[in-house]
Amino acid sequence: MTDQPQLDPTEPVPEIPAAEAPADEPVTEAAANSRAREWLSQLEAMIQQVATQAAPVAREVGAKAAELAAVAAVKAGPAAQKAASVTTEYGQKFAEKAQSVAADWRHENEAAKAADDVAAEAAAADEAPKELTSGDQEPPSAG
């Protein structure tokens, strides 16, 4: 009915090493420490092996990256010089335009101030008492 092999009761039971012991059986602390050390040792060996095999590849990738950086630097030099030249040219043009705009604004401000001064003087003149002329008579004083 089942495909499980039948055990002969007269046959001795093989001993299971601690690393392969089922989870439901208690494992001593010493056995657990031993298992952990064994796993760490295996892990360290695998890491060392990967590092040893990867070192040449990592050096090759680093060398290629350095070559690409050198090519980029050589190609970027003239472009950077051209950009600096263009920046200087446009910077000078911008400075000239900014000075022109500033001068125009100052001129407009001075003209507006002068117009305000003239208007204020005219308004003050309209409000000032008129001087009497020889044909005008002064009202009698209640004195």
| CB of 41 closer than 8 Å to CB of 49 | no
Query: Residue 65 domain-assigned?
Result: yes
| CB of 38 closer than 8 Å to CB of 19 | yes
The single-letter code of the amino acid at 65 is: A
pLDDT for residue 25:
58
Give residue 109's domain range.
27-121
pLDDT for residue 130:
58
Q: Which residues of 70-91 are buried (b: 16+ CB within 10 A; e: fewer)?
A: eeeeeeeeeeeeeeeeeeeeee
Query: Residue 141 domain-assigned?
Result: no
Taking only the tens place, the pLDDT of each residue in 68-93 is 999 998 989 888 888 999 999 999 99
Whether the predicted pLDDT of 135 surpasses 70: no
Query: Residue 54 domain-assigned?
Result: yes
Query: Residue 64 domain-assigned?
Result: yes
Residue showing tokens 């007269």: 10
| Token pair belonging to 121 | 């003087």
12: left (phi over 0), alpha (psi -120 to 50) or beta: beta
% of the chain with per-residue pLDDT over 90: 32
The model's pTM: 0.34
CA gap 53, 48 in Å, rounded:
9
pLDDT for residue 123:
80
Whether the predicted pLDDT of 136 surpasses 70: no
pLDDT band at 7 (very low <50, low <70, confident <90, very high): low
SS3 99: helix
Secondary structure (DSSP) of 118-140 = HHHHHHHHHHSPPPPPTT--PPP
| CB of 122 closer than 8 Å to CB of 116 | no
Query: Residue 114 domain-assigned?
Result: yes
Region 41-66 average pLDDT: 91
Query: Residue 6 domain-assigned?
Result: no
Structural domains of the chain, count: 1
Query: Residue 68 domain-assigned?
Result: yes
Query: Residue 38 domain-assigned?
Result: yes
